[in-house]
A and B are shown apart, each in its own frame.
Chain A
Amino acid sequence: MQAPRSEEELSDIVRSARGPLAIRGGGTRGLAVAGEVLETGGLSGISLYEPGALTLVARAGTPLAEIEAALAAEGQRLAFEVPDLRALLGTSGESTIGGVVATNASGPRRVSFFGACRDSLLGVRLVDGAGNIVKNGGRVMKNVTGYDLVKLMAGSHGTLGVLTEVSLKVLPRPEVAGVLSIEGLGVAEAVAAMSAALGTPWEVTAACHTDLGANDRPSTQLRIEGMEDSVTYRLGKLKAHLARFGEVETATSDRVDWPWFRDVARFAGGEEDVWRIHVKPSDAPGLVDRLPQGARVMLDWGGGLIWTAVAPGTDLRAELGAFVGHATRVRGTGGGIARFHPEPAPLAALAKGLRARFDPKGILNSGLMDTATWT
């Protein structure tokens, strides 16, 4: 195992590597790849935090918990609501900020204008597959100086470079969250209700649905955040707006995050394969109908993200047939089914070309994002 203590040391390790390297932050995401383990925990620490400028810079191996604690002390947070998938995946360890960025891990708040992890990411430093130290972006919120490799790195799963430092836009943590819930809706009605809510000016920051909620019935839930009076006002408005979908319960709480939906807690601990499917929300009901018998379903992002638990080894893409969007297997070995969704040939060629440029030896998390192509 390699555990560099500095960017320079990491650069030397990658430059002289003869075989594949398996990059590991906290090891919480269960992404097994072949090769010598390269641990980033030695590159740790918050290097700069300016609450008045809403920016935080941290080395990639910094534990997420350390960052969240520093932000909480100033009444701030990461806007994109990082999922904790340890229970779902049966993993342990501590998430690192580098792992969060490398997987573009984004929770329920992604549905709102706060966006995904990539939308909060302002800058990166990395070591590419040839050992070059590269920086891109910076620590300011508006920056169009040269190409945006920052976005390219978010979600690249370490296949283009080993992140060494990231800078992030952070935001104030709101006082309270308001919750609206409707019980008993089918998937199509739930998506319609969530779309109706998201299409209002009242700034819904989460829209989730489960086909089996706390009362053994389907439950559709919406979240509003902000100052208490404002939340109360908007809850009232939304409740009236959604009355046509059924009885709407409302509540206010200072717990603004939604770990149950965020962490897909309902599917924790089972033997089933778990998949996430990204679609246009109005396509979600049709796709849910095409899921195999017995599939369990949760919707996030107003229906734009379908979480489903299916029998081990199910080739879910074959079950769904052609659709616009993509499906990624998150849990399970899948019997040879690629984890990532195949891309059309011209896009796969571009991705392959980028990997060949950034990782000419093909040693960084080699094969992790490989897929078969379709035309």
Chain B
Amino acid sequence: MDMPAPNPAILAKKARLVERLKQVLPDDAVISDEAETRAYECDALTAYRCPPLLAVLPSSTQEVSDILRICHEMGVPVVPRGSGTSLAGGALPTADSVILGVARMNAVIETDYDNRFIRVQTGRTNLSVTGAVEEEDFFYAPDPSSQLACAIAGNVAMNSGGAHCLKYGVTTNNLMGVTMVLMDGTVVEIGGGHLDAPGLDLLGVICGSEGQLGVVTEATLRILKKPEGARPVLIGYDSNEVAGACVSDIIKAGVLPVAIEFMDRPCIEACEAFAHAGYPMCEALLIVEVEGSPAEIDAQLGLIKQIARTHNPVELREARDADEAGRIWLGRKSAFGAMGQINDYMCLDGTIPVSSLPFVLRRIGEMSKEFGLGVANVFHAGDGNMHPLILFDANKPGDLELCEAFGAEILKLCVEAGGCLTGEHGVGIEKRDLMTHQYAPADLEAQMAVKDVFDPAWLLNPAKVFPLAASETRRAVRLAAE
């Protein structure tokens, strides 16, 4: 993955930039020492690293506005950063960019149970949003795996999902409003405690724009009352095809589980060895969870088990208590950790139509042999969001490149099957150069036109999302103007 070469003219402005930023920020909010900027050299896509020119840690929307205005005036690119948990390189800096980290902005601004929303500063972590409303038994629905660490700022930027979005939707379906700062320092308020836009749905295009349209400093989020209870059932099959057919039948039957998770044999084996969850050794394992009162759960699981039985499961186990429910989820939730124990891995994030599941899994198996790299599959089956984990050896020369090439082929396969390159992680730099497989030039042009309007100088997170060749002339306008 290439990044543009740093612009020497910008590097030469560092001292002047630091001086101007310190006029509007406390000293400890401007990090320019090379030993300290290294802390911001990468996000969770750790294969790619580059220390930024400097990092700034504002404490208010006003400070964010001052920073952006100064960087805009001086023609310096800005890379916004939440908690740095992006798996796609969304917060990867270039040597001539300023990292703008919102971590210090983590306050709850307003909690409104009557109107069912919470307003927070976006440096707040996903899980601590739920933490702030738990005393009244409310929760914030989107639950990405990194929810302990990831910030709402990044969730909004990437339109993050999670295991429970089959029922509750992803970030964009739970985001009611934002305060956002445009690159020139203008502060805009969009949405809030009311529903839907008066004119164009700007909120809809801001969510998922990967920090390229503005820096979101506050967010109004929908909160919901927690269900009375939830219970999972574990279903094992001796083929991926049959498991896929079972998922389809459950959905068609009219029950709406809150989650349907799917693991294949390599993943089951790794999880079992790591977590001792008591999983059966089979080709495919489903975890289906439903919510409600005990009687409602009984009724829904009764129907699901009835459907599952028609496909001759090798295992059908309903959690009898919280302890057993915990163990059923334990293996699934430790999947990434389990794989990390035995190998380096790359986690993919393509989505496919649920009906293509058996075909795509079979093709991934064949490609695994062709590339000579193992792959384990764990994914949100209800919505077709796959997470193939490709195993490689980071210490073996050429293995990372081989793994990336394999990953690219899997993602192209997802697109060919009628799906997409990324379901919840975002494009960042990781899938940037694959965008032409999903989108024609006119499709990318329409998206880039949106950035032209919000950030005409292409200073915000400029080398992401779009293939470098596609965005080159736009980024060059900025360089030429200096």
Contact = CB atoms under 8 A, between A and B. Distances in A.
A and B interact: yes
Interface string A159-199: 11000000000011111000000000000000010010011
B252 A74 contact: yes
A251 interface: no
B418 A139 contact: yes
B292 A344 contact: no
Interface string B404-441: 00000000000000111111111100010001001110
A285 to B, nearest CB: 12
Given A146-B427, A174-B254, A278 B352 contact: no
User: Which 10 residue pairs spanning A and B have beta carbons closest together?
Assistant: A151-B204, A52-B248, A280-B193, A326-B198, A142-B423, A172-B254, A353-B453, A141-B383, A341-B198, A357-B449
Interface stretch (A38-46, A111-119, A261-269): A111-119
A287 B316 CA distance: 55
A260 to B, nearest CB: 21
A72 interface: no
Interface in A338-374: 340-341, 343-344, 346-347, 350-351, 353-354, 357-358, 369, 371
Interface stretch (B21-29, B168-176, B390-398): B168-176
A22 to B, nearest CB: 19
B294 to A, nearest CB: 10
Contact size range, A: 35 or more
Interface in A79-112: 104, 106, 110-111
Contacts of A282: 112, 114-115
28 contacts: A113-B141, A118-B204, A134-B442, A138-B419, A138-B420, A142-B380, A142-B383, A142-B385, A142-B423, A144-B158, A145-B439, A146-B447, A147-B447, A152-B450, A154-B204, A160-B200, A175-B254, A195-B115, A195-B116, A201-B226, A304-B194, A305-B195, A324-B192, A325-B192, A344-B188, A350-B453, A353-B452, A357-B453
A136 B443 contact: yes
Interface of B: 112-116, 137-138, 141, 158-159, 161, 165-170, 172-173, 182, 186, 188-190, 192-205, 207-209, 222, 224-228, 247-249, 251-256, 292-293, 295-296, 299-300, 351-355, 380, 383-385, 418-427, 431, 435, 438-440, 442-447, 449-454, 465-466
A140 B204 contact: no
Nearest to B170: A142
A343 B384 CA distance: 38
A53 interface: yes
Contacts of B449: 354, 357-358
A265 B380 CA distance: 42
A229 interface: yes
Contact of A343 (B115, B199, B222, B454): B199
A34 interface: no
Contact of B194 (A51, A74, A151, A324): A324
Nearest to B209: A147
A279 interface: yes
B167 A113 contact: yes
A233 to B, nearest CB: 6
B424 A144 contact: yes
A151 B128 CA distance: 28
Contacts of A227: 296, 299-300
Report which residue of B255, B419, B431, B453 has the largest number of chain A beta carbons within 10 angstroms of its beta carbon: B453
A155 B226 contact: no
B438 A53 contact: no
Nearest to B292: A230
Contact of B252 (A52, A149, A230, A324): A52
A53 B188 contact: no
Contacts of B161: 142, 144
Nearest to B438: A145
A142 B225 CA distance: 24
A25 B291 CA distance: 40
A152 B202 CA distance: 6
A166 to B, nearest CB: 15
Contacts of B447: 136, 146-147, 149
Contacts of B199: 340-341, 343, 347, 351, 369, 371
A110 B222 CA distance: 13
A134 B445 CA distance: 9
B174 to A, nearest CB: 8
B452 A53 contact: no
A116 B426 CA distance: 24
B414 to A, nearest CB: 9
Contact of B172 (A74, A148, A343): A148
Contacts of A278: 194-196, 198
Contact of B225 (A147, A199, A371): A199
A337 interface: no
Report which residue of A160, A282, A350, A351 has the largest number of chain B beta carbons within 10 angstroms of its beta carbon: A350
B435 A198 contact: no
A223 B410 CA distance: 44
B353 A53 contact: yes
A50 interface: yes
B225 A140 contact: no
A140 B383 contact: yes
A229 to B, nearest CB: 6
A213 interface: no
Given A341-B198, A347-B190, A350-B453, A358 B446 contact: yes
Given A147-B208, A154-B204, A53 B198 contact: no
A200 B254 contact: no
Given A145-B420, A145-B427, A155 B200 contact: yes
Given A132-B446, A172-B255, A116 B196 contact: yes
Contact of B254 (A75, A138, A354, A358): A75
Contact of A52 (B193, B207, B354): B354
Nearest to B451: A147
Contact of B201 (A138, A140, A155, A341): A155
B297 to A, nearest CB: 10
Nearest to A142: B423
Report which residue of A74, A139, A148, A173 has the largest number of chain B beta carbons within 10 angstroms of its beta carbon: A148
Contacts of B222: 113
A59 B332 CA distance: 40
Report which residue of B138, B197, B224, B466 has the largest number of chain A beta carbons within 10 angstroms of its beta carbon: B197
Nearest to B385: A142
A140 B114 contact: no
Nearest to B174: A113
Nearest to B352: A140
B353 A55 contact: yes
A343 B201 contact: no
Contacts of B444: 146
A270 to B, nearest CB: 25
A135 B248 contact: no
Contacts of B193: 279-280, 283, 324
A41 B138 CA distance: 46
A133 interface: yes
Contacts of A159: 200
Nearest to A228: B299
A248 interface: no
Contact of A141 (B209, B351, B443, B466): B351
A371 B169 CA distance: 32
Contacts of A229: 295-296, 299
Nearest to B445: A132
A358 B113 CA distance: 40
A193 B255 CA distance: 29
A130 B421 CA distance: 28
B200 A233 contact: no
A148 B351 contact: no
A118 B182 CA distance: 25
